[in-house]
Structure 1
Amino acid sequence: MPAYHLDQPISTVKPITVAAPGRDLDLQVKVTAPLSGRDLPVIVFSHGNAWSMDGYGPLVDRWAAAGFVVVQPTHLDSRRHGIGWEDPRFATIWRVRIADLHAVLDGLDDILRRAGEVATRADRGRVAVVGHSWGAQTAGALLGARVLDADGTPGEDYAHAAVAAGALITVTGTGETLTPFAAEHLPFMRPDYSTMTAPTLVVAGGKDQSQLSTRGPDWFTDAYRLAPAPKSLLTIAEGEHTLGGLAGEMVAETSDEDPGRVALVADAIAAYLRDALGLDASGWAAFETTAAGRDEGWDVTGK
């Protein structure tokens, strides 16, 4: 379905250390980009719990081949840092994650310059944020979502002016149905989507049953249901939490391995962002109008 070529060569530069005052460990990022093309839009991608800038190759490589510059930070919860639930630093990692994305966006010029000649080909006026799982809630904060405290009061506004659109993959639902473990250890999983006004694609799996919520797979559609328009929802009927293996092939977290499903997610997000960033509406229009998707186990709705 994509109207762009997916066979063009890409390159990766890593690690690039980003200025992040007050952070216990260096903030490092990886930049992946096509070797050709100009005015390339930028995706800043936030990984799921325990991953790093070295994960999500099936997504990132496909986005780069589709003409995006992708910047991936490694958050503090990466397993390479060894900060587990019991570590006193874990309670504030959700805030550090958000600060990481702000640091990347605020330092984007320097990051791209250090990544090589891609700095002359990137369009800093067309920037999107994307995240998976915990990374989706992190990205959502930059799109305008907030976190409710125990009394239901919305917390700080972390929206970033440079972000024009985004995509949230298997993003946290509202906090009323958290399991006791999640309520105790993950109190930040109480998002308020009523203020998430930026154009956003929400991606959910029809068989994604979270161990952190007592609700079913529809929990992962709250960001679409509760946020104001414009929003779109891609639902993949047979998808579980990794939607076929987003983070990589043959990884332990993947219980529904399907490379075709991963390609669908990557292509849908690329098409949506190209439309939302004002580049090309035809690809996303095809996703919205095709009847083939429903026959193949996926559907798109919008508001």
Structure 2
Amino acid sequence: MSSSHLGQRIVAVKPLTVPAPDRSAALQVKVTAPLAGHNLPVIVFSHGNAWSLDGYEPLVDRWAAAGFVVVQPTHLDSRRNGLGWDDPRFATIWRVRIADLHAVLDGLDDILVQAGGLETRVDRERIAIVGHSWGAQTTGALLGARVLDADGIPGEDFSHSAVSAGALIAATGTGDTLTPFALEHLPFMRPDYSTMTTPALIIAGGKDQSQLSTRGPEWFTDAYHLSPSPKSLLTIAEGEHTLGGLAGEMVAETTDEDPARVNLVADAVSAYLLDAFELSGTAWTDLSAEAAANDGTWSLSSK
């Protein structure tokens, strides 16, 4: 990977269409990349409920400036598609989301060509997948997690061989603690992390109280505690569900606006992935040292 820094120029190309013949709406993606560099690693990013390829710029732009090519699909649950909770398609959107990520990974070469010559600048052996909220559960499926049915039996394996590392931000926990609303509309929110073997960073907010679970913020750490090693856990003590405003500046859903917190999340993901990909640099080591020295604002664990 060529040297990069957070001040380097980036470029974004959108919308690009990805073949998805069984989908009720076209699958479109945005690609954000540094203007310079070769052998660049890739992040495929899965957004939270109702968002789209136009969200999460504070994360995506920072990753691109750090040397990653970032691909963002718009999932079917995006508010621009107008699918409400009572839409008959909603019950299977979690599967469509997973299929979207498979389509992006399987069609990556064509996406890179459409993005303007990126096919010659990417390292296809270093592909990561990252998601926030519902996107984190979607991402977890490609890292090896499964979904438990009503009897507690794990469903099919949706992992993808091209993915060698990942990050789950505010990922759904597990257990029989879903609220009545979640049980009715989101029964698939029962992940089984015991088979999620791919290396991953889990990021959780210490004040993320979900309206979908009767448990507290520790619900969002299940992906770390219940999955096999190697995993790391970044806990941000004052973080709520959007962890400072991941989806964008002054977004209505943000309850804990804090640009520095967003930068921490972005930089932790890029540092973790660069380390997982065995690329040169000390960013992850430096972050670990900083975590050990801070005043408890955030902490970092590994297993």
Length-normalised TM-score, structure 1: 0.97
- 1:280 shift after superposition: 3.1
2:274 aligned residue: 274
- Partner of 1:103, secondary structure, is helix
- 1:292 shift after superposition: 5.9
Q: Does the 8 Å CA contact 2:291/2:298 hold for their aligned counterparts?
A: no
Counterpart amino acid of residue 257 in structure 2: E
- Partner of 1:14, secondary structure, is strand
In structure 1, distance between residues paired with 2:217 and 2:293: 19
Q: Where do residues 211-222 of structure 1 align in structure 2 (5 Å cutoff)?
A: 211-222=211-222
The reply to whether residue 207 of structure 1 matches residue 216 of structure 2 is no
Structure 1 window deviating more from structure 2 (205-214 vs 287-296): it is 287-296
- 1:288 shift after superposition: 1.8
- Partner of 2:176, secondary structure, is helix
- Partner of 1:22, secondary structure, is coil
1:132 aligned residue: 132
Q: Does the 8 Å CA contact 1:293/1:299 hold for their aligned counterparts?
A: no
The reply to whether residue 184 of structure 1 matches residue 184 of structure 2 is yes
2:21 aligned residue: 21
In structure 2, distance between residues paired with 1:256 and 1:87: 31
- 1:281 shift after superposition: 5.6
In structure 1, distance between residues paired with 2:286 and 2:215: 32
- Partner of 2:202, secondary structure, is strand
- Partner of 1:290, secondary structure, is helix
In structure 1, distance between residues paired with 2:220 and 2:292: 24
Q: Does the 8 Å CA contact 1:234/1:298 hold for their aligned counterparts?
A: yes
1:63 aligned residue: 63
Counterpart amino acid of residue 63 in structure 1: W
Structure 1 window deviating more from structure 2 (178-187 vs 219-228): it is 178-187
Map Cα deviations across residues 186-221 of structure 1 (whole Å, 9 max, x no partner). 011000000000000000000000000000000000
- Partner of 2:195, secondary structure, is coil
CA gap 1:80/1:286 in 2 versus in 1, 3 angstroms? same
In structure 2, distance between residues paired with 1:129 and 1:141: 10
1:89 aligned residue: 89
CA gap 1:235/1:279 in 2 versus in 1, 3 angstroms? same
Map Cα deviations across residues 90-125 of structure 1 (whole Å, 9 max, x no partner). 000000000000000000000000000222111111
In structure 1, distance between residues paired with 2:117 and 2:24: 31
1:172 aligned residue: 172
The reply to whether residue 194 of structure 1 matches residue 194 of structure 2 is yes
- Partner of 1:166, secondary structure, is strand
Q: Does the 8 Å CA contact 1:233/1:301 hold for their aligned counterparts?
A: yes
- 1:4 shift after superposition: 5.0
Aligned residues: CA RMSD = 1.1
- 1:282 shift after superposition: 1.7
Q: Does the 8 Å CA contact 2:40/2:123 hold for their aligned counterparts?
A: yes
1:253 aligned residue: 253
The reply to whether residue 155 of structure 1 matches residue 148 of structure 2 is no
Identity, % of aligned positions:
76
Structure 1 window deviating more from structure 2 (275-284 vs 238-247): it is 275-284
In structure 2, distance between residues paired with 1:236 and 1:280: 27
1:31 aligned residue: 31
The reply to whether residue 74 of structure 1 matches residue 74 of structure 2 is yes
Q: How many residues align?
A: 301
Unpaired runs of 5+ in structure 1?
none
Q: Where do residues 285-296 of structure 1 align in structure 2 (5 Å cutoff)?
A: 285-291=285-291, 294-295=294-295
In structure 1, distance between residues paired with 2:294 and 2:187: 36
In structure 1, distance between residues paired with 2:48 and 2:146: 18
Structure 1 moving runs of 4+ over 3 Å? 291-294
In structure 1, distance between residues paired with 2:281 and 2:197: 20
The reply to whether residue 121 of structure 1 matches residue 116 of structure 2 is no
Counterpart amino acid of residue 17 in structure 1: T
Unpaired runs of 5+ in structure 2?
none
